[in-house]
Each structure stands twice: as C-alpha cells, then as structure tokens.
Homo-oligomer: A and B are copies of this chain.
Amino acid sequence: MDIIKPRTLSGFMELLPGKQIQFERMVSILRDTYSSYGFAPLDTPVIEDAQILLAKGGGETEKQIYRFQKGDSDLALRFDLTVPLAKYVALHCNDLAFPFRRFQISKVYRGERAQRGRFREFYQADIDIIGDGKLDILNEAEIPAIIYKVFRGFGLERFQIRVNNRKILNGFYAMLNLSDKSGEIMRTVDKLDKIGQEKTMMLLMDDCGIAKEQATQIMDFIAINGNNKYNLLRLQEYAGRNEIFDQGLAELKTVCDNLAAFGVPEENFAIDLTIARGLDYYTGTVYETTLLDHPEIGSVCSGGRYDNLAGYYIEKQLPGVGISIGLTRLFYVLDEQGLLNPALPTAPADALVLPMTAEPGPAIALAEALRSNGLKVQLYGEQKKFKQKMAYANKLGVPYAVLLGEDEIAEGKCSVKNMVTGEQVKLTPAEAAAHIKAGLDLGNVPIILEK
C-alpha cells in the first residue's frame, strides 16, 4: 500500500489528549457561566452562502475568507460568529423572543499568513444580547460582569476589563471640530500603549494633520487615567458642551454603577479613554480585557454596544451588545507561558481498573460500580504483564490505578493505588470511590495560574 505522510495543516491547532482536556476545561467554564446567565446555546453552519457572509464586504475579510464553489453554489466558511448571528436573527426574528441572548463557542476560519501563534481555524466564544428596536443600558454592564465571572472561573484575579464609550469620544472630537477625522484619531490614539506619548502626539499632527493646540487637548484628554471616580469627575469637566458627549458620559456612569451592583470589584474594571475598538459598528460602550501580568498578550476579550446588527439583511433596527473571546489564541498563549495549572489532572480517566485475573467479569463489575459513583473509569482489558500495565497507567497520567486480583476478589475489595504518592490501600468498591473522589478534590485550585 502506498503510504501518504500524515500531517495537519499549518495554522490548525490539533492537541494531544492531555492538552485537549485542559482546553475542554476552559470551554466548560465558558459554557457553564454563559448558561448561568440564561444565554441560549447557538450553533450555526460553518458554511454559508458567500454573498451573505460578505454582505458587508471589503478589506481584509474578503482576502482571508475561505471561499469556494460547489456545484453552482458560491460558498464560504464563516470568519467570525457575528455575521452568522446577524443572519440568524434576521432570518428567524419572528420566532425569537427579544431581547435575544445567545452564546456560541465555535470555530471560525481566516486564511491568514501562517505564523507562530496565529491560527487559520480558531474558536471564538461569544455572547450577545440583541434587542428589537431598543435595548436597555443595563445589558452593557451585564456583559462585562459575565466576563468577570468567566475569568474568575478560570482562577484569575489579576485581570482588568477596560471600558470606554464611543459617544464620549465622538462627542469630544465634535467639540474640537474634528468629527471628520475621528476615525483616524482613534486609530492613532489606540497605539499609545505601544508607541508612547511623544510619538502619538507627532502622528496626530503629522499624519492626521491636526493643529498642535488640538493635539495637546487630545493628549490631555486621553491622559485622564486615575481611578474610576476620578476619571468620571474629570470627564464631567467637559460636560454641557456636546449632547453626544453628555449621553456617553451618562451611559458610562450607569455602566460603572451597575458593574459594582453585579459584584465586580473596582480593581477588575477601569475606565480607559484610549480604547475605541477598530470596528465602525460599535456605537456606545466598548470593552477590552487585559491580563495585568501579561500585557504583551493584548486584549483577550473585546466587544461593545452596536446599534444595527443586521442592517444588511433586514430593515428592522436590532441594537445589541456583545463580547468575544479568541479562545484558541488565548489557550495557545497561556500554554506557551506555562500558565495552565499543572496541578490539574490531564488524564481522560480518574481511575484505571487493572484486572489481574484472566476472567474479566469482576473487573467489569468493579469499573461499573466506580462509574455509578460518578467517577470516570477506564477498564484496561489487554493481556499484558503487570509492569506494562503500570507503564500504561503512567503514560496516561491517570491519578489512580485500581488493581483487582484473586485476593481482592475473594475479599470483595480492590487495591487503590495513588499514582503520584504510590500509596496503596485495599477498599470495598464504595470506599474506593469515596477515597478517589476525596483525593481528586483539590479544593479551589485555579485552572490558569497568574504567573
């Protein structure tokens, strides 16, 4: 038979079992947290009509998209979860209850230039709340409150959700008569963290063509960077000069108040006037999230408020607010930096039952008994020497091996061996289950380490 050398395409993450179990642990926290806030799971097709996916058209998206013909159909793979959501809501709007709240944790596809840590197939973990015509400001605090819960669920404490409001920025630039340049300015200001104050000031003048006085005012404005109370007070100084600005400031205040009511501590959210989000369709509150000890990763969770989700597909006004976690990249970076807690087991089973007799009946029964007590149990059925069986248990990384020989069977017991400590005890199946469960319970161990 001709052998074709197996390979996985570059830019496609394919994990070994232990890593996959670590990845699933993060997915599971996302799914449970999103669900606990009453978000409906959504699952849209990977393939859509290319015309529909590209309704908005333009730019990078069109270059990166996987697009192909099948028969007469012009097809494409989704490049994010927002466009399919817009299509879904437009298509099914009569059947949905608004506000419509959905989460989707699914793969998306972008044919980017392959490079380390960049993926062509990657998971996004999104939540959105869509209103019909209107959507209350309360939702703009709930979304980051949920993200707070997710990151706390990961075991993290040193992270910050940064909040701004596009209306504040738009209003401020209107005050300076710079509305026509606001896009350009926001993109420049966004680079502040990377290039520093001086360079930003220079770019504002040279590239954006802004007079020195106005550029100074912009630099003063984005330098407002104290605690939330201070920032709101400083922003108040600009109030009364532009209606949009005042609206944005009122919204930002409400979001901050409500975030506190949701129990998000002040150290985990901050007003940050440099945040704008590149996308044109955000119209109000915008979010970014950074790991404080790892600013080099950039924002791990971003989103905001938009006024018109599905304008390309339907006349209906559908405002919404949403946020997205680029899960594959986040996982990759955490793993690279050794931040996935190695204390948590990465074996697919809690216990491996090793029959020491030829007849498998008693071992089958024992494994079933342990499973009925809620354990994940693998029965090892191969005819191998003891040493090989233990080598398998070690390679699998299973926390417990459960040995069943003639003696144990005669006593109605089994020998439970802790694979880390080597400690071995003879117990009844029920005792064994309790013993293993107690041993697996690590208390409140974080799944991600801070550093």
Cα of A8 to Cα of B49 in the assembled complex, Å = 7
A445 within 8 A of B: no
Chain B CB within 10 Å, residue with most, of A1, A8, A310? A8
Cα of A142 to Cα of B312 in the assembled complex, Å = 52
A355 to chain B, nearest CB (A): 9
Interface members, chain A 1-15 (any B CB < 8 Å): 1-9, 12-15
A350 to chain B, nearest CB (A): 8
User: What mask results when residues 377 to 390 of chain A are scored 1 for a CB within 8 Å of chain B, else 0?
Assistant: 11111110000000
A352 within 8 A of B: yes
**Given the complex, which residues of B lie within 8 Å of A230, measured CB to CB?**
none
Query: Contact at A4–B37, with CB atoms within 8 Å?
Result: no
A281 within 8 A of B: no
Query: Contact at A9–B138, with CB atoms within 8 Å?
Result: no
Query: Contact at B365–A261, with CB atoms within 8 Å?
Result: yes
A413 within 8 A of B: no
Interface members, chain A 385-400 (any B CB < 8 Å): 392, 395-396
Cα of A395 to Cα of B121 in the assembled complex, Å = 36
A107 within 8 A of B: yes
Cα of A375 to Cα of B55 in the assembled complex, Å = 39
**Given the complex, which residues of B lie within 8 Å of A311, measured CB to CB?**
1
Query: Contact at B40–A348, with CB atoms within 8 Å?
Result: yes
A111 within 8 A of B: yes
Query: Contact at A44–B361, with CB atoms within 8 Å?
Result: no
Query: Contact at B142–A379, with CB atoms within 8 Å?
Result: yes
Contact among B38, B96, B111 for A378, CB-based, below 8 A: B38
Query: Contact at B376–A35, with CB atoms within 8 Å?
Result: yes
A362 to chain B, nearest CB (A): 9
A194 within 8 A of B: no
Query: Contact at A7–B352, with CB atoms within 8 Å?
Result: no
Cα of A311 to Cα of B238 in the assembled complex, Å = 72
**Given the complex, which residues of B lie within 8 Å of A9, measured CB to CB?**
45, 47-49, 73, 75
Given A47-B12, A88-B14, A136-B382: A20 and B7 interface contact (C-beta under 8 Å): no
A24 within 8 A of B: yes
Query: Contact at B4–A348, with CB atoms within 8 Å?
Result: no
Cα of A371 to Cα of B145 in the assembled complex, Å = 13
Nearest chain-B residue to A43 (Cβ)?
Answer: B20
Given A371-B37, A381-B136, A382-B131: A8 and B261 interface contact (C-beta under 8 Å): no
A99 within 8 A of B: yes
A16 to chain B, nearest CB (A): 5
Query: Contact at A121–B45, with CB atoms within 8 Å?
Result: yes
Query: Contact at B121–A46, with CB atoms within 8 Å?
Result: yes
**Given the complex, which residues of B lie within 8 Å of A116, measured CB to CB?**
none
A157 within 8 A of B: no
Cα of A313 to Cα of B5 in the assembled complex, Å = 6
Given A6-B91, A36-B376: A135 and B49 interface contact (C-beta under 8 Å): no
Query: Contact at B45–A313, with CB atoms within 8 Å?
Result: no
Query: Contact at A258–B97, with CB atoms within 8 Å?
Result: no
Name the segment of A63-71, A286-294, A433-441 touching the other chain: A63-71
Nearest chain-B residue to A70 (Cβ)?
Answer: B111
Cα of A309 to Cα of B54 in the assembled complex, Å = 40
Query: Contact at A4–B36, with CB atoms within 8 Å?
Result: no
Cα of A6 to Cα of B44 in the assembled complex, Å = 13
Cα of A368 to Cα of B312 in the assembled complex, Å = 37
A257 to chain B, nearest CB (A): 8
The 6 sampled A-B contact pairs (Cβ below 8 Å) are A7-B87, A17-B100, A36-B371, A37-B376, A66-B68, A261-B361
Known contacts A1-B311, A17-B40; can you find 9 more A-B pairs with CB under 8 A? Answer: A6-B86, A6-B310, A20-B40, A36-B375, A46-B107, A66-B68, A98-B392, A101-B378, A261-B364
